[in-house]
Chains A and B, each alone.
Chain A
């Protein structure tokens, strides 16, 4: 070897040995990255935890970048968002990465939780790992919600309004709790400062602390072995069995089990970047000016299911459900490792667990879709912009045509569609003539009912007659009009002919 190189290598080794002696780096490395895990844990199913952490790292870095420009002031936040998006070099890209990083983080966290549940990883002796994971889930959702407020546009403003309205339902201390949340009596400057402090200091700090605990638990109690059907967890024997597995087939996490995590990490980062470049950042939508009420507030993707529940819940139980529901879910999740801490781990022998996961995914998926489609919301401009298909005005009498105009002007179509154009809050009117007779239509329009307001006060008798006459004509071709059961179905002359023969 070249003597100069050899000298340099010796020097480098000397520096390393000195640092290792002072800081015990080798020991630290062996007991952390080098800790032994069951060979079976190096599975593609085990990458979601580290992938969530990768997302968090992306969020930390991009969040700090955004904070270099963003101003958390109610008067200026929106301006700085626009500056970031349209003027600051690569500002749009940073905003997009932070937005998609957040979506990826919540999504992958849910996959991680699902995997942990299906693989029985929460069972004895990993209760604390599960519990710290639950705290991390709450913190992550908190970050997603407060992050939505950082994008201080009209959706953020009214999202805070929805939050305050939910908190205002808390009994006894509702008023104080709302003021506590808003940092004042209305949504204003201190509200944004408060959410900024949560989003930037409190929640990320708490995540770091609980990630440390979460990982410490992985080192202390080991990563879950890949569960085999029929291998039951018993409190008395599990620790010995796990030690035997580590002894028999243990490999150091680094470099033997980390490879799939590494691949997953790069896939996640590239996925975030791809979404950021292709879809760009979200918003900001209109400015956070409450007097601009021409708005349709919607929460971000991961909260759409709650938005849907708020619409679909019967009003009588809504307050109880909004306030007690999360507590019940929390109790179930906290109790899980203690109630169901032993026995079968493999999902192949836990059909109930599989059904629970499928039902939860189906329910949340349906609710998210419904929250996105919001069929319960009136289409606020349908009355002025929805067209009437020609088939629904062809061959109508002048009075009926007047009725179609009244139907339009009375905002009926904000909630009722004709041929799929208009709101979906109420039933479609395309075939209303086959469902209701004229007297029934009069009653429904005048008195309302069945979640429809009464129009008796706003329609004059002429308008009422016109609108009812028109609606009675709304029938698919070939389908007869609805009829009253007290009126004979068969016209009298036919009946007469039948009896004559």
Chain B
């Protein structure tokens, strides 16, 4: 196949490797061409495989959070001037979620249809805050975050007050917009 005469060995520094030892200098062959073709094809195949995989794993980056209105029960099940525990089924859920689809929250009925609904998660690191009716304080069992009855930060490490749900009263039912675990990145659930 290779009929080309061998080039003389020269001490030239231009091509030191190819020339030393009298090797045949590299020549483009069909094998080399096929190697390039193979590389390019595999880059294409890799992209065709990898992009959907990345899309599957990173879908959260492209999809806006979906929230939905859920009912917490009749307005009158919450006495005026008091704060009560409530829970709801997460609007975005799977059949195999089990108990994790039940999300708790604190409902404060100030008067009439004037409500505040607080997320259970402490604004510090997400532990469940507990309401103490006598001192009118929320306390967190993890690092001692304390909040007043209106959700404002009272003491401890939380950088802000309790997260609040958007709410409305419809057909005499208290509705909140839910579906997202609140964190400092998404404080307005």
Contacts of B149 in A (CB 8 A): 457
Contacts of B154 in A (CB 8 A): 448, 453-454
B135 within 8 A of A: yes
User: In whole angstroms, how far apart are the Cα atoms of A188 and B87 in the complex?
Assistant: 15
Residue with the greatest number of chain B CB neighbours at <10 A, chosen from A73, A162, A188 = A188
A178 and chain B: residue at smallest CB distance? B183
User: In whole angstroms, how far apart are the Cα atoms of A378 and B144 in the complex?
Assistant: 6
Contact B100–A74 (Cβ < 8 Å): yes
- Encoded as 1 (CB less than 8 Å from any B CB) or 0, chain A from 286 to 312 comes to 011111011111000000000100110
A156 to chain B, nearest CB (A): 10
Contact B120–A409 (Cβ < 8 Å): no
Contact B94–A188 (Cβ < 8 Å): yes
A286 to chain B, nearest CB (A): 10
Contact B97–A189 (Cβ < 8 Å): yes
Q: Which of B93, B128, B155, B186 contacts A290 (CB 8 A)?
A: B128
User: In whole angstroms, how far apart are the Cα atoms of A168 and B58 in the complex?
Assistant: 16
Contact A310–B125 (Cβ < 8 Å): yes
User: In whole angstroms, how far apart are the Cα atoms of A301 and B90 in the complex?
Assistant: 32
B176 within 8 A of A: no
User: In whole angstroms, how far apart are the Cα atoms of A325 and B180 in the complex?
Assistant: 28
User: In whole angstroms, how far apart are the Cα atoms of A376 and B124 in the complex?
Assistant: 14
Q: A175-B186, A415-B144 are in contact. Are A311 and B99 (CB under 8 A)?
A: no
Q: Is the interface of A mostly helix, strand, loop or mixed?
A: loop
B139 and chain A: residue at smallest CB distance? A378
A63 to chain B, nearest CB (A): 22
A187 within 8 A of B: yes
User: In whole angstroms, how far apart are the Cα atoms of A307 and B155 in the complex?
Assistant: 18
Contact B143–A175 (Cβ < 8 Å): no
Q: A187-B100, A377-B141, A414-B139 are in contact. Are A174 and B65 (CB under 8 A)?
A: no
A328 within 8 A of B: no
Contact A161–B143 (Cβ < 8 Å): no
A157 within 8 A of B: yes
Contact A176–B61 (Cβ < 8 Å): yes
Contact B159–A318 (Cβ < 8 Å): yes
Contacts of B66 in A (CB 8 A): 185
Q: Please count the residue pairs between chain A and chain B whose beta carbons lie under 8 angstroms apart in the complex.
A: 204
- Encoded as 1 (CB less than 8 Å from any A CB) or 0, chain B from 103 to 124 comes to 1100000000000000011101
Contacts of B136 in A (CB 8 A): 457-458
Residue with the greatest number of chain A CB neighbours at <10 A, chosen from B65, B85, B92, B142 = B142
Contact A293–B104 (Cβ < 8 Å): yes
B143 and chain A: residue at smallest CB distance? A311
A351 within 8 A of B: no
Q: A188-B90, A290-B104 are in contact. Are A178 and B144 (CB under 8 A)?
A: no
Contact A185–B139 (Cβ < 8 Å): no
Contact A425–B94 (Cβ < 8 Å): no
- Encoded as 1 (CB less than 8 Å from any A CB) or 0, chain B from 169 to 184 comes to 0000000000111011
Contacts of A74 in B (CB 8 A): 96-100
- Encoded as 1 (CB less than 8 Å from any B CB) or 0, chain A from 166 to 204 comes to 111110011111111010111111110000000000000
Contact B104–A175 (Cβ < 8 Å): no
B3 to chain A, nearest CB (A): 40
Contact A168–B185 (Cβ < 8 Å): yes
User: In whole angstroms, how far apart are the Cα atoms of A402 and B29 in the complex?
Assistant: 100
Interface size on A, residues (CB 8 A): 70
Q: What size tier do the contact residues of chain B reach?
A: 35 or more
A313 and chain B: residue at smallest CB distance? B157
Q: A164-B126, A377-B144, A457-B148 are in contact. Are A75 and B96 (CB under 8 A)?
A: yes
Contact A410–B65 (Cβ < 8 Å): no
Contact B127–A452 (Cβ < 8 Å): no
Contact B96–A166 (Cβ < 8 Å): no
B185 and chain A: residue at smallest CB distance? A174
User: In whole angstroms, how far apart are the Cα atoms of A378 and B146 in the complex?
Assistant: 9
B134 within 8 A of A: yes
Contacts of B120 in A (CB 8 A): 290, 293
Contacts of B65 in A (CB 8 A): 175, 179, 185
Contact B102–A289 (Cβ < 8 Å): yes
A314 and chain B: residue at smallest CB distance? B157
User: In whole angstroms, how far apart are the Cα atoms of A243 and B102 in the complex?
Assistant: 66
Contacts of A409 in B (CB 8 A): 134
Q: Which of A76, A310, A313 contacts B98 (CB 8 A)?
A: A76
A232 within 8 A of B: no
Contacts of A318-338 to chain B: CB distance below 8 A: 318-319
| 7 extra A-B contacts, CB within 8 A, seeds A175-B183, A311-B157 | A74-B96, A162-B127, A169-B185, A179-B65, A378-B139, A425-B144, A453-B154
A sample of 22 cross-chain residue pairs with beta-carbon separation below 8 angstroms, ordered by A number, consists of A162-B125, A162-B142, A166-B125, A168-B186, A173-B61, A174-B183, A180-B60, A188-B97, A189-B94, A191-B100, A288-B98, A291-B99, A291-B103, A293-B104, A310-B125, A315-B157, A319-B184, A378-B146, A448-B154, A453-B137, A453-B146, A457-B136
